[in-house]
Amino acid sequence: MKHKLILFTLAGVNFTHIMFTMILMPLGDLFMNEFEISALQFSHLVSVYAFAAFLSGFVGIFLMDLFDRKHTLLFLYTGFGITAFACGLVQNYEQLLALRFVSGAFGGVIGALALSIVSDLFSYRERSGALGIIMAGFSAAAALGVPFGLILADLYGWRVPFFFIGGLGLLLTAFIVLTFPTIKPQTETGKMTLRNNPLVKIVADKNQVMALAVAFFLILGHFIIIPFVAPYMMRNAGFDMQQISWIYLVGGGLTVFSTPAIGKLTDRIGPGRAIWLFMSLSFIPVILLTNLWEVGIFFGLLVTSGFFVLGSGRMIAPQTMITASAPTNTRGGFMSLKSSLQQLSIALSSFIAGMIVQISDDGTFVNYDIVGYLSIGLCLFAVYLTMRLKVAAGN
C-alpha cells in the first residue's frame, strides 16, 4: 500500500512539472502582449526550460547516485515548486526567462529521478505496471492540467496557474516527507577517479549505450509528430480553437486510464511482446493523423485520441527495458544522462519537423505525411535496438 502511495505521489510530481512545461505554449499571445515581446523571444521562454534541463541532466550523471533518493527528490522538487510559484510574481520578460531557466534546472531531472526510484522499489517483472501509473501523471497534465490552467488564466489572470502549480508542488513535498522511505543508491564509495567515474562506467557498458540510443530515437520518433498536431488539425482538418481543447481533454483523459492498464498488460505478457503489439497498433493513428483531411469532430477526435492512447502506451514496454539495462551502481547517473539526451531529442524533433512541413498557397500544411512516415521509421529502428538490450544485474 505504501508503494502505491509513493507511485501516486510521483505521478503528482510529474503532473506539476509537465503542466508547468506545457501551460506556457497556449498562453503565448497573452505573454507577447503582456511583455511586448516578439514571437522569437517567446520561443526562448519555451526552449530555455529544456536547455536548462539538458544541462542539469548532464550534471546529474555525476551526482545522482551519491545521495539518498528521497533527499535528492526533496531538494529538486522544493526548488521547482518555489521557482514555479515565483513565476507568477515576475514583473518583466527577463525575470520570467531567468526563472524558467532555474525551474528547468530543478525540474528537468525530476523525471529521471522518478524512474530511478521506481527501478529501486520495483522488480523488473512488476515495473511496467508501476511505470504506467507514473506516466498517467503526464497524461493528466495534458488532459486536465492544461485546460484547468487555461480556465484559471481566463478567469483570474495568467499569474494564477503558476501559483496553483507552485502551491500544489509544495503540498506534494509534504507527502514526500511523510510517505517516502530512505532509498540509498547502491554505489561504490570513495573519491571519484577515472575508474569509478559514472559517465565512464556508462559509456564503457555497451548495454547502457544501446539503451540510451533506444531512448533517443524513441523520443525523436514520437515527438516529431507533436509540434504540428494542433496547427494541422486547425488548418487541414477544419477544427476551431474550442475543438482543439477537446483533443487534449478527451485524448489525455483516456490515457489517464489506458496507461496503467497497458502497464499491467505489459507485465502479464512481457515487454518483448508488448513493444511489438503496441508499437504496431500506434502506427495506425500516426498514418491517419498525418494524412488527415477536413473531417467532423467525432472522427477527428477518434484519430487524435488513438494517437494519445497508443502513443503513450507504446512507450511503457521500451521504458521498462531501458530502466532494466542499467545496474544498480550507475542507475541514477544513467537515468540522468537518459533524461538529458531526451531533452536534446525533443529539441531536434521540433527542428526536423519544422524543416519538413511547409505552408501551401491556400494556407494548409503539406509534407506532414512525410513526418509521419519518418516517425514510423525512427520508432522501428528504436524497436530493433530494444531487442538487443539485456537485463542488468540487480533488476
Cα separation, 6 vs 252, whole angstroms:
22
pLDDT reported for residue 43: 65
Query: What does the pLDDT average to over 286-314?
Result: 93
Look at residue 392 and tell me if it is in a domain: no
Range of the domain at 324: 2-183+194-386
Question: CB under 8 Å to 160, separation ≥6 — which residues?
Answer: 88, 152, 153
DSSP 270: -
DSSP 185: -
How many structural domains are present in the chain? Answer: 1
Cα separation, 167 vs 173, whole angstroms:
10
Cα separation, 49 vs 20, whole angstroms:
10
Give 194's pLDDT tier (boundaries 50, 70, 90). very low
More confident residue, 359 or 269: 269
How many Cβ atoms sit within 10 Å of the Cβ of residue 130?
Answer: 26
Look at residue 174 and tell me if it is in a domain: yes
Look at residue 161 and tell me if it is in a domain: yes
Helices (H) and strands (E) in the chain, counts: 18, 2
Look at residue 350 and tell me if it is in a domain: yes
Query: Reduced to 3 states, what is the DSSP secondary structure of residue 358?
Result: strand
**8 Å CB contact between 230 and 244:** yes
Helix ranges restricted to H, 64-205 = 69-87, 93-107, 110-121, 127-140, 146-156, 159-179, 198-204
Of 25-39, 204-218, 289-303, the least confident: 25-39
Look at residue 189 and tell me if it is in a domain: no
Give 190's pLDDT tier (boundaries 50, 70, 90). very low
- Condensed to tens digits (0 to 9), the pLDDT of residues 95-122 reads 999 999 999 889 878 877 887 888 777 7
- Condensed to tens digits (0 to 9), the pLDDT of residues 22-50 reads 787 667 667 777 888 875 676 678 778 87
Look at residue 257 and tell me if it is in a domain: yes
Give 2's pLDDT tier (boundaries 50, 70, 90). low
Give 172's pLDDT tier (boundaries 50, 70, 90). very high
Which CATH number does the domain housing residue 123 bear? 1.20.1250.20
* Residue 328 in this model has a pLDDT that exceeds 80: no
pLDDT reported for residue 305: 94
**8 Å CB contact between 285 and 311:** yes
DSSP 92: S
Look at residue 391 and tell me if it is in a domain: no
Look at residue 395 and tell me if it is in a domain: no
